[in-house]
Chain A
Amino acid sequence: MANVISDETIEYVGILSKLKLDDAQKEQAKKDLEEMLDYIDQLGELDTDGVEPMSHVHPVSNRFREDVVTNGDEREKILKNAPEERDGAFVVPRTFD
């Protein structure tokens, strides 16, 4: 069963992912997404009635941290990850609410 991704959908996905796609890229993305959906559709062939949705692959639960401060001030190191730094802060493009 072939999935069809509309122009509106690819436009919308582009907006959500903050990606600017040109026409050729849009066509390519449409094709890729259609194939991915077709692939995932195969899972629909399985009977999953009465099966709890799985939230995690490992059969473990309850891994906690105690509420104790273990990290010191490492901002010099952390700021090295910033694209640009000013006054101890990460610099990002001007952003409004």
Chain B
Amino acid sequence: MSREYETVIGLEVHVELATKTKIFCGCSTQFGGEVNSHTCPVCTGMPGSLPVLNKQVVEYAIAVGLATNCDITRHGKFDRKNYFYPDNPQNYQISQLYLPICRNGYVEIETEKGGKKKVGIHEIHMEEDAGKLIHDEWGEVSLVDYNRSGVPLIEIVSEPDMRSAEEVIAYLEKLRMFIQYLGASDCKLQEGSMRADVNLSVRPVGSDKFGTRTEMKNLNSFTAITHAIENERERQIDIIEAGGSVIQETRRFDDNKGESYAMRSKEDAQDYRYFPDPDLIPLDVSQEWIDKIKSEQPEFRPEKMERYKEEYGIPEYDIGIITDNKRMADIFEAATAICGQPKKVSNWLMVETLRLLKEKNMDAVDIRYSPEHLAALIDLVEKKVINSSVAKEVFEKMFDDDTDPVKYVEEKGLKQETDSGAIKAICEQVIADNPQSVADYKAGKEKAIGFLVGQTMKAAKGKADPGTVNALLKELLS
């Protein structure tokens, strides 16, 4: 008879900040540059080069700390974490060990049972990312690209307060919401701008001692995280049930195989010999600075959802989806402010936008069209300049490259035929061409009118208002 086990999980989350430049030099952080095109003596660790701290990095870190109820460290500094690896040209990473910028915070999550739970945040510190090793499949060598070297990161270290994969996901979603709303990062797990390392141990239910934990890396989706947690829990329980003991180690999870394996431990133990970085000036964070950053905090999702309910009268389900991503919420609010039609705006977001995002495998943060253009499109439909099927076609174009819908409709000649004489002529032609349907309709088959409307729309190349056509046909056939 096996005992019941409790899973104890703590997370280390690395988030790549959305600054324009690196943490200690004026090199661009833009993705997709040629290999080593965003490098300088500082971020390639050349002797004699001196790092200077990017102010925006500190402001983002403080903003995230305030959103997660942390104490902000008033006097801080940076430390060197020493290790040899070719992706790290200085042979040390500049990080914060002794005086991290934020400490003692928490994030409140909703649990499966519908309750609320606080997940403690031990600390948030600022540090620099490493370069990227490109392995040559056949060659004798490895190649290094230092474009990512020196890109600013914050590492958010939680307390071991989570007890299930569901709680871990809820915590990550909450973190991601805060950070995205702050504009501090796009937090894309797949692309590595948010990375989670999972520390996990198990212990018999009722025990207050922690078991030996392992750390799992390489988890780049919520599904991978869930699989890795379930898999590691089982693995550790099996070891304990068989009378063995769990070894403290770092494991890499392979989501394709659905299993983790111990990473070959580098021959040195983890001995980073941290010491204060003498090249960087200490940091003094004044109360005024903290207050200023606090006053600039955006309205976060829970408050936003409450306000939407009162202000816009759209379904709660829609509110949930629209506020899930700040880009969506921003478009919603801005477009509604222009056209005054919250339901129509919501509808474009909920139906066509979600459909295209899914189809193109895109994230909501990547929506390109402007709220002005969405409002203009809604206006075109409202004024019956175009009908709803043409509007969909215009929207697809807008979704791709933020085309101005008014210009596009004009240029492509997509305006509805408003000349009632011309539409009437088409209707008469369709009636003449389809005696069978006309007979059916007259015999009481209401559905036959639909076919005739369709034929008329086709003949008008879609540029007629289906409602008007319907009414005209009925009038002609009565």
A residues neighboring B (CB under 8 Å) = 15-16, 18, 55-58, 60-71, 73-75, 78-79, 81, 84, 86-97
Contact = CB atoms under 8 A, between A and B. Distances in A.
Interface string B15-28: 00001110001111
Given A62-B283, A92-B141, 10 more contacts: A63-B281, A65-B53, A67-B55, A71-B26, A73-B33, A75-B39, A89-B144, A91-B141, A94-B141, A95-B133
Interface string B248-284: 0000100000000001100110010100101011111
A95 B84 CA distance: 11
A86 B134 CA distance: 11
Given A64-B54, A73-B37, A90 B26 contact: no
Nearest to B84: A18
Contacts, number: 138
A37 B461 CA distance: 89
Contacts of B44: 78, 81
Which of under 10, 10 to 19, 20 to 34, or 35 or more describes the interface residues of B? 35 or more
B238 to A, nearest CB: 26
A90 B145 CA distance: 7
B141 A93 contact: yes
Interface string B140-168: 11111110000000000000000000000
Given A89-B36, A95-B142, A16 B134 contact: no
Interface of B: 19-21, 25-28, 33-41, 44, 46, 52-58, 75, 77, 82, 84-86, 133-136, 139-146, 252, 263-264, 267-268, 271, 273, 276, 278, 280-284
Nearest to B78: A55
Contact of A97 (B55, B143, B146, B263): B263
B19 A67 contact: yes
A89 B27 CA distance: 17
A92 B281 contact: no
Question: Most chain-B Cβ atoms within 10 A of its Cβ — which of A66, A71, A91?
Answer: A71
